Amino acid sequence: MNTCGVMYLTKSGDLASTFHARDPWTTASSRPPSLFQPGGVRNGAAAQGRPRNRFEQAPLYVAVLTYVGFGIVTLFGYFRDFLRALRLEKCHIAQERQELKEFVPLYQDFENFYTRNLYMRVRDNWNRPICSLPGPVFDLMERVSDDYNWTFRLTGRTLKNVINMGSYNYLGFAENNALFLTTVAEAVRGYGVGTCSTRQEMGNLRIHEELEQLVAEFLGVESAMTFGMGFATNSMNIPALVGKGCLILSDELNHTSLILGARLSGATIRIFKHNNMQSLERLLRDAVCSGQPRTHRPWRKILIMVEGIYSMEGSLVCLPEIVALKKKYKAYLYLDEAHSIGALGPTGRGVIELFGMDAKDIDILMGTFTKSFGAAGGYIAGKKELVDYLRSHSHSAVYASAMSPPVTEQIIRVIKGIMGRGGTNEGLRRVHRLMENTRYFRRRLREMGFIIYGNEDSPVVPLLLYLPAKVVAFSRAMLEKNIGVVVVGFPATPITEARARFCVSAAHTRDMLDKVLDALDEVGDALSIKFSRQKFSPRSELYDGTDFELDS
Amino acid sequence: KMASGQQWVLVEMVQAFYEAPAYHLILEGILILWIVRLLFSKTYKLQERSDLTDKEKEELIEEWQPEPLVPQVSKDHPSLKYDVVSGPPSHKIIVNGKECINFASFNFLGLLDNERVKVCALASLQKYGVGTCGPRGFYGTFDVHLELEERLAKFMRTEEAIIYSYGFATIASAIPAYSKRGDIVFVDEAACFSIQKGLQASRSVIKYFKHNDMEDLERLLKEQEVEDQKNPRKARVTRRFIVVEGLYINTADVCPLPELVNLKYKYKVRIFLEESMSFGVLGEHGRGVTEHFDVNIDDIDLISANMENAVASIGGFCCGRSFVIDHQRLSGQGYCFSASLPPMLAAAAIEALNIMENDPDIFTILREKCRHVHKSLQGIPGLKVVGEPFAPALHLQLERSSGSRETDMKMLPQHLLVCFQCLDRQIAVTQARYLDKEEKFLPSPSIRVVVTIEQTEVEIEKAANCIREAALAILK
């Protein structure tokens, strides 16, 4: 079957029939010959046993209720704004200085409507301060508000040993075992924590070069360059690669840093539907055949930008299909592995390894060290020409400080760990452990009847909550059960698709996961958020077609 | 009455229809059919004419050759091979295997190698590990971050401070958080690259004024005033900002802040001030250019600085009134969408602040060193010192600019050679690096000389002599 495995489940719950009906490639029979039609270039063999992305749709009444919910809060917001205008309600918002009253207002009134009337009511669910390691459990600082969330007061008490389902600590390398951190501590003693210069001037330390060689080796590419901030790796390097007269084809769910980088580059940006190969191919075809708008000159180059794991959907990129497309249309591929590097693949080499592909097929490999590596910063890797060009033209290399030496050392330590250097295969064990945990956690959630998005191998697990009130109740109820979760809603997600997002870690013990699952079961029933209409048969799909063997 | 009148017209029409000759009716019938046909048929077949057949498309796809992903970089590109520093980039630095005295790293207060800072960083490492594994919103807010924000606000005597995990991202995120499409930003031509990127991201209207030229700025402001009178409705919603640097990294001189504040109130424009070079440097207590000029800090709407120079850690911060700063917690892209600063680096910054607060004499010492370096570098043949005597990062430029940028650029390798010779003689200086094609107003090529409090008088003399000899030999 020619599919990347995007699976839409509809009311009938009949997997096979809906799969065909909604499959974006089998419905398009009148289109010109394409890569993804029967008889196309690929025979789809790779689709066999490949992990699938799931997006089950919510019942209609849920969507309706969600809009009603937002409607009520909005109306109430207007009512309260009216009361504030009449000074019947106290206004807590920080005020502009008296001297600046005649200036053009810094914020438009409607800009802050959402913050003032919606976000403020529920703001206790974000920015919760912690005072320990962000490991599998952490300590939260207790916060209370005396004025309905306008200000918070720290009580000085801590909530101990809250199970952490929010941090991107996929491999559990956010750890403070002194023995593991020996080399990092040495880096602090030897180097200090800063660099006080850019890479091109006087901030190119020997350990930066060591790290870059290691990253290249780890990824199986010719060369790599590292940068001090993950976000800036995207936003400061994309402009060096493309510019005016170039076309960027970007997945609609790409991270802000990619979008910012694309915007700063000055290239034309077109958006394709999330993971939708038909949409991408149509754009590619159109771009190559019609060239630039108005001038009709051919594009200088076309860059496809995708992510390995999409952080809000938990879905995996359809890499084999995209590579086939990019080869056919001679586009370049920029793969952001922020969440997937370290977390996917039998030896943690990311989504490329998961699909059994060759890293050389991807032109620009990007990733961050913030997640699986428990550090900070990012890399870009690929051919030597690419990295040489970045070394001389990257905005980051010329204008931004080099990476902190102890942070660099942490990354070196972790990569060596995953590669099994230094005598233990602890790193590899964690990669497998993460996969086990992920599959277990996802399977149990589906058994319970929650709607879970994404791929069964993705450690990012979004649980759909839909209704704004339930989002808040869910987060608070979980915290009462000593579990820290992340909830996200509009504007980070579509307005009807608010969700909780769990990040599974290799450091979670089975016991912790069970505790979380039990709590979820209870809260799920109490809030009636088990929206799934899938008849899930627990045993049929379990571990079938797995490409992970623990002894590999 | 009207109705009956219309009825009469209708009756007359029917009568005329009966009386008309047959050929007339046939002709009119044909005409009506013709109109109907014209209405329902396409006038010309644009679609068919430009549509390519699938075969043609395949040929086009076959034919199209994109440019290579990146152009080839020549092997001797001046910025391809980096100098390699082994060991810490502190006062004594080992560059390409040679031990030198560091006149290149922005370690103004020598805090990079400070034992107290290291002890605090280690303690933090032991407790929190390295990374935060999340953005501030999702359990990436640590007690250390809250403490650092509070301390920075207290140090700067402002209501609130917000920290970013990367210096470059600070002002580059702060500007687009406030200034949107249609707003107007007045900015100095010498503004650094991160300001330029922030402006680009904001998509506002950008008006450059000549470097530190208040008359030119006022001219632009007046022009805008005239513009506003033409369209007062638009003017009421167009936000205006002046973006300046305290101490310019590209020119090593200071912005005329008191004049800027006057213009601010006169023309109702807000001021954003970038203080990466002046924070922890200027002023009696290191509070920067506001303290230097004794300007009320509340008159500046937003101050941003990085913690990668004087503070010798990583990251940056913005400070000002809560009314202004708090907005970034939901709108600062580099704040919301990036992992937070590793606690260890925040702890180091807190200890650096402690040192700066406990011992404000270091700022006086730094100023003396700056004056000394500035004086020693005078009178080098072929090179002139650019920058204020109290600036800790000076530029050495060609004494006589050839007038054309191109010839100046040809002198670049000579600059590099000077740097190399100095390295050979154990003085580490670098050429100031820019991306020629990306800078809005490319600064003249220069050698950067950085002053730190650790440099002794002897070392300063040695460095000055070394640069003088190299310049004599190479620039002639």
Q: Which residue in B367, B353, B392 sits closest to B107, CA to CA?
A: B392
Task: Kindly state the tokens that stand for B341.
Answer: 């600063």
DSSP string, B312-370: -SS-EEEEE-HHHHTTHHHH-HHHHSSBPPPHHHHHHHHHHHHHHHH-THHHHHHHHHH
Complex confidence, ipTM: 0.88
Residue A498 is inside which H or E element, if any? strand A498-503
Please report the pLDDT score of residue A51 as a whole number.
Answer: 60
What letters, b where the CB count within 10 A reaches 16 and e where it falls short, cover B386-411?
Answer: bbbebbbbbbbbbeeeeeeeeebeeb
CB within 8 Å: B52 and A289: yes
Amino acid making up residue A273: K
CB within 8 Å: A196 and B105: yes
| B-chain residues near A195 (CB < 8 A) | 89, 105, 308, 314
Which of B128, B141, B334 minimises the CB distance to A128?
B141
Please report the pLDDT score of residue B46 as a whole number.
Answer: 56
Q: Measure in Å the smallest separation between the Cα of A291 and chain B Cα atoms.
A: 10
Tell whether A262 is within 8 A of chain B (Cβ): no
CB within 8 Å: B323 and A94: yes
Task: Kindly state the tokens that stand for A149.
Answer: 């969330």
How do residues A376-414 score in pLDDT, each as one tens digit? 999 999 999 999 999 999 999 999 999 999 999 999 999
pTM of the model: 0.89
User: Is B442:B434 a contact under the CB 8 Å cutoff?
Assistant: yes
Task: Kindly identify which residue of chain A lies nearest to residue B87, measuring between CA atoms.
Answer: A191
| A-chain residues near B136 (CB < 8 A) | 127
Which of A196, A330, A331 minimises the CB distance to B308?
A196
Q: In what order do the strands lie in the sheet with B446-450?
A: B383-386, B393-398, B446-450, B430-431
Interface of A with B in 464-493 (CB under 8 A): 484, 486
CB within 8 Å: A190 and B88: yes
Which of A288, A368, A390 minimises the CB distance to B64?
A288
Q: Measure in Å the smallest separation between the Cα of A145 and chain B Cα atoms.
A: 17
Q: Measure in Å the smallest separation between the Cα of B149 and chain A Cα atoms.
A: 13
Task: Kindly identify which residue of chain B lies nearest to residue A207, measuring between CA atoms.
Answer: B86
| B-chain residues near A299 (CB < 8 A) | 66
Tell whether A302 is within 8 A of chain B (Cβ): yes
Which of A134, A190, A194 minimises the CB distance to B312?
A194
CB within 8 Å: B342 and A404: yes
Q: In which band, very low, low, confident or very high, does the pLDDT at A365 lie, cut at 50, 70 and 90?
A: very high
| A-chain residues near B327 (CB < 8 A) | 106-107
How do residues B33-50 score in pLDDT, each as one tens digit? 999 988 887 666 555 556
Between A18 and A495, the more confident residue is A495
Tell whether A97 is within 8 A of chain B (Cβ): yes
User: Is B279:B310 a contact under the CB 8 Å cutoff?
Assistant: yes
What letters, b where the CB count within 10 A reaches 16 and e where it falls short, cover A487-502?
Answer: bbbbebbeebbbbbbb
CB within 8 Å: A401 and B200: no
User: Is A170:A372 a contact under the CB 8 Å cutoff?
Assistant: yes
Please report the pLDDT score of residue B168 as a whole number.
Answer: 95
Q: Measure in Å the smallest separation between the Cα of B469 and chain A Cα atoms.
A: 22
Task: Kindly identify which residue of chain A lies nearest to residue B114, measuring between CA atoms.
Answer: A192
Query: What value does the mean pLDDT of chain A take?
Result: 87
The C-alpha atoms of residue A314 and residue A291 are separated, in whole angstroms, by 34
The C-alpha atoms of residue B187 and residue B177 are separated, in whole angstroms, by 17
CB within 8 Å: B80 and A184: no
Instruction: Calculate the alpha carbon distances from A23 to A1, A4, B440 in Å.
Output: 10, 9, 49
Q: Measure in Å the smallest separation between the Cα of B210 and chain A Cα atoms.
A: 22
What letters, b where the CB count within 10 A reaches 16 and e where it falls short, cover B211-246?
Answer: bbebebbbebbeebeeebeeeeeebeebbbbbbbbb
β-pair partners for B384 = B397
Amino acid making up residue A253: L
Q: Measure in Å the smallest separation between the Cα of A117 and chain B Cα atoms.
A: 14
10-residue stretch averages of pLDDT, chain B, 476 residues long: 66 81 89 90 61 86 92 84 91 92 95 96 96 95 97 96 96 96 96 96 96 96 94 93 96 96 96 96 96 96 96 96 94 94 97 96 96 93 91 88 62 71 85 90 90 95 90 79
Task: Kindly identify which residue of chain B lies nearest to residue A401, measuring between CA atoms.
Answer: B308
Which of A95, A185, A199 minimises the CB distance to B82?
A199
Amino acid making up residue A205: L
| A-chain residues near B240 (CB < 8 A) | 104
Task: Kindly state the tokens that stand for B442.
Answer: 């490319």
Is residue A5's pLDDT more than 60?
Answer: no
Task: Kindly state the tokens that stand for A4.
Answer: 């990347």
Task: Kindly state the tokens that stand for B112.
Answer: 């990079």
Which of B146, B240, B431 minimises the CB distance to A104?
B240
| A-chain residues near B333 (CB < 8 A) | 231, 256-257, 260
Q: Measure in Å the smallest separation between the Cα of A473 and chain B Cα atoms.
A: 17
Residue A471 is inside which H or E element, if any? helix A468-480
Please report the pLDDT score of residue A137 as a whole number.
Answer: 96
The C-alpha atoms of residue B299 and residue B280 are separated, in whole angstroms, by 20
Cβ contacts of B278 within 8 Å, gap of 6 or more: B245, B246, B247, B254, B288, B289, B292, B305
Once rounded to an integer, what is the mean pLDDT over residues A50-64?
83
Q: In which band, very low, low, confident or very high, does the pLDDT at A435 lie, cut at 50, 70 and 90?
A: very high
Tell whether A197 is within 8 A of chain B (Cβ): yes
Helix-strand-coil percent breakdown of chain A, rounded to 5?
Answer: 40, 15, 45
CB within 8 Å: B130 and A184: yes
**Cα-flanking dihedrals φ and ψ of residue B434, to 5°?**
-140, 160
Tell whether A363 is within 8 A of chain B (Cβ): yes
Instruction: Calculate the alpha carbon distances from A222 to A216, A225, A308, A382 in Å.
Output: 6, 11, 20, 6
Tell whether A95 is within 8 A of chain B (Cβ): yes
Please report the pLDDT score of residue B476 as a whole number.
Answer: 65
Count of CB atoms within 10 A of residue B248's CB?
25
CB within 8 Å: A167 and B348: no
Which of B72, B134, B438 minimises the CB distance to A134?
B134
Tell whether A166 is within 8 A of chain B (Cβ): yes
CB within 8 Å: B169 and A373: no
CB within 8 Å: B58 and A175: no
Q: In which band, very low, low, confident or very high, does the pLDDT at A236 lie, cut at 50, 70 and 90?
A: very high
The C-alpha atoms of residue A164 and residue A177 are separated, in whole angstroms, by 18
Which of A119, A330, A376 minimises the CB distance to B165?
A376
| A-chain residues near B322 (CB < 8 A) | 94
Please report the pLDDT score of residue A18 as a whole number.
Answer: 33
How do residues A165-202 score in pLDDT, each as one tens digit? 999 999 999 999 999 999 999 999 999 999 999 999 99
How do residues A77-95 score in pLDDT, each as one tens digit? 999 989 988 888 887 777 8
DSSP string, A116-137: IIIIHHHGGGSS--B-S--SSE
Task: Kindly identify which residue of chain A lies nearest to residue B165, measuring between CA atoms.
Answer: A229
Interface of A with B in 492-551 (CB under 8 A): none
**Cα-flanking dihedrals φ and ψ of residue A368, to 5°?**
-120, 160
Tell whether A38 is within 8 A of chain B (Cβ): no
How do residues A248-300 score in pLDDT, each as one tens digit? 999 999 999 999 999 999 999 999 999 999 999 999 999 999 999 989 899 99
Task: Kindly identify which residue of chain A lies nearest to residue B335, measuring between CA atoms.
Answer: A231
Cβ contacts of B449 within 8 Å, gap of 6 or more: B103, B373, B377, B393, B394, B395, B396, B429, B463, B467
CB within 8 Å: B73 and A392: yes
Which of B136, B327, B339 minimises the CB distance to A376?
B339
| A-chain residues near B200 (CB < 8 A) | 264
Amino acid making up residue A412: I
Cα radius of gyration rounded to whole Å, chain B: 33
| B-chain residues near A37 (CB < 8 A) | none
Task: Kindly state the tokens that stand for B277.
Answer: 């070079």
Is residue A32's pLDDT more than 60?
Answer: no
CB within 8 Å: A401 and B306: yes
Between A431 and B411, the more confident residue is A431
